[in-house]
Amino acid sequence: MCPAVQDPREPIDLHAHSRVSDGTESPAELVAAGVAAGLGVLAITDHDSTAGWVPAFEAARGTGITILPGMELSTQLDGASVHLLAYLIDPAHPGLLAETERIRAERLHRAEAMVQRIAVDYALEWDDVLAQAQPGSTIGRPHIADALVHRGHVADRSAAFQSILHWRGGYYRPHLAPKPLTGVELIVAAGGVPVLAHPGGRGPDRVFSEKRIKTMVDAGLAGVEIGHRDNAPSSRERWSDVAERYGLIVTGSSDYHGLGKPNVLAENTTTPENYARIVELGTGSSPFEG
Ligand code: AMP
Ligand code: FE
Ligand code: FE
Ligand code: ZN
């Protein structure tokens, strides 16, 4: 085992977004923020895209920070949005690439449909949303939120999510995505390590019966993100118990989105032991030692 795996520098933060999806910083700015926060390891985990990896590696060179390459894969189950963190995947795996391209296209259609609904009641055009997103990025509600802010309808992203963009706000539409089980299988096929992201949100806790969890673990689900601000205490207890029974890797992360969310780097962290287990399991790519 290489020394960096045996003795990674702390703190270790394994979930962060750049403008490649719905963060507000470029991959290079995200890495600079990680260095400024004193991180030993930072994972870049944009939604359904690995386009930020290479610029993140380039920015990390010579800084001493380690970049764990990852992605946050969107999946859907019974109307619930379930996110899977996919570490150390092969970014060129054809099956996973085809699926993420499909998801990004579905996200685009869904965002357009939401804008059409919103435009009935608020001055908002699809071009307003496009103006808020980097070309080719994974489009999500945060970009609609930015357009609503720009138009002066809401104060910030959080206000938009609490009102117009809320799933019960009257304008919400889900987007098509594979089932979590398919997601786990694809990530494993791409040499990656699947970790269930923030399971304590509205979705996963409701849809994951004990039987479904076992099926996911049998398919290769390797870990669960228990340290996350969206996980309520009761669901942390539940998933800690699940992790213990199945011997899962346990992670903690910030889910940093730059200025797009109040989450700050290293507000939750992962232990070196759990990080080492991810690095040992992943075969599709390697951490970049900056
Ligand atoms: P979507 O995947 O398009 O449904 O949008 C959900 C994304 O919006 C999540 O990945 C979060 O990162 C982000 N998000 C959720 N709540 C907020 C919030 N209050 N402020 C900013 N971003 C948020
Ligand atoms: Fe996000
Ligand atoms: Fe997420
Ligand atoms: Zn995230």
pLDDT means over runs of 10, the chain (290 residues): 66 98 98 98 98 98 98 96 98 98 98 98 98 96 98 97 97 96 98 97 87 98 98 96 98 97 98 98 98
Q: How far apart are CA 290 and CA 287, in angstroms?
A: 9
pLDDT of residue 1: 46
pLDDT of residue 203: 79
Our answer on whether the CB atom of 261 is closer than 6 Å to any ligand 1 atom is yes
Q: Which residues contact 98 (CB under 8 A, 6 or more apart)?
A: none
**Residues 256 and 239: beta-carbon distance below 8 Å:** no
Our answer on whether the CB atom of 161 is closer than 6 Å to any ligand 1 atom is yes
Our answer on whether the CB atom of 22 is closer than 6 Å to any ligand 1 atom is yes
CA of 255 to the centre of ligand 4 (A): 5
Predicted structure pTM score: 0.97
pLDDT of residue 245: 98
Of 257, 263, 264, best ligand 1 pocket probe by most atoms within 8 Å of the beta carbon: 257
Shortest-distance Cα residue to atom 2 of ligand 1 = 140
Our answer on whether the CB atom of 202 is closer than 6 Å to any ligand 1 atom is no
Q: For residue 217, count other CB atoms closer than 10 A to its CB.
A: 18
